[in-house]
């Protein structure tokens, strides 16, 4: 076996439900409920066992924080959807800024142009 210095993929499901539940301080049934409500979708092994990733654990932490503020699960779903959309839009904006800089343009003026149709 060889050791590598590479960081593990944060999206790779490696934690069983009992381990994930312990790491985030929730019960296994709570994690199952959140999955049923569509708040997260853990990976599945070939045999169908749930495998939670580091990203799933971070999402569970956000869910717990939102629930602690008094938000119900429908509200949590809406907030998570908005956060996910915002992250995608920010990534797109960052990419367009990089493209504009590589072309020698000001990212500010390049980003406000309408895309070609």
Q: What is the pLDDT of residue 6?
A: 62
Q: What is the pLDDT of residue 12?
A: 83
- Cα–Cα distance measured from residue 111 to residue 82, given in angstroms and rounded to the nearest whole number: 22
Q: What is the largest CA-CA distance in the chain?
A: 54
Fold of 11-70: Multidrug-efflux Transporter Regulator; Chain: A; Domain 2 (1.10.1660)
Q: What is the pLDDT of residue 112?
A: 59
pLDDT tens string, the chain, 117 residues long: the values are: 555 556 668 778 889 999 999 999 999 999 999 999 999 999 999 999 999 999 999 999 999 999 999 999 999 999 999 999 999 999 999 999 988 888 887 666 555 556 555
How far from the centroid of its chain's Cα atoms is residue 87's Cα?
A: 9
- Cα–Cα distance measured from residue 52 to residue 23, given in angstroms and rounded to the nearest whole number: 11
Q: What is the pLDDT of residue 10?
A: 79
Q: What is the pLDDT of residue 52?
A: 96
Q: Which residues contact 50 (CB under 8 A, 6 or more apart)?
A: 13, 16, 17, 20, 31, 35, 42, 43, 44
């Amino acid at each position: 076996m060889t050791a590598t210095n590479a960081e593990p993929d944060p999206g790779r499901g490696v934690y069983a439900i009992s381990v994930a539940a312990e790491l985030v301080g929730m019960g296994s049934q709570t994690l199952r409920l959140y999955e049923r409500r569509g708040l997260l979708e853990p990976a599945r092994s070939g045999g169908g066992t749930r495998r939670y990733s580091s990203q799933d654990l971070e999402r569970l932490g956000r869910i717990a924080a939102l629930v602690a503020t008094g938000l119900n699960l429908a509200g949590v779903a809406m907030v998570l959807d908005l956060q996910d959309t915002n992250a995608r839009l920010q990534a797109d904006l960052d990419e367009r800024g990089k493209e504009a800089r590589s072309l020698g343009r000001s990212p500010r003026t390049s980003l406000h142009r309408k895309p070609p149709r």
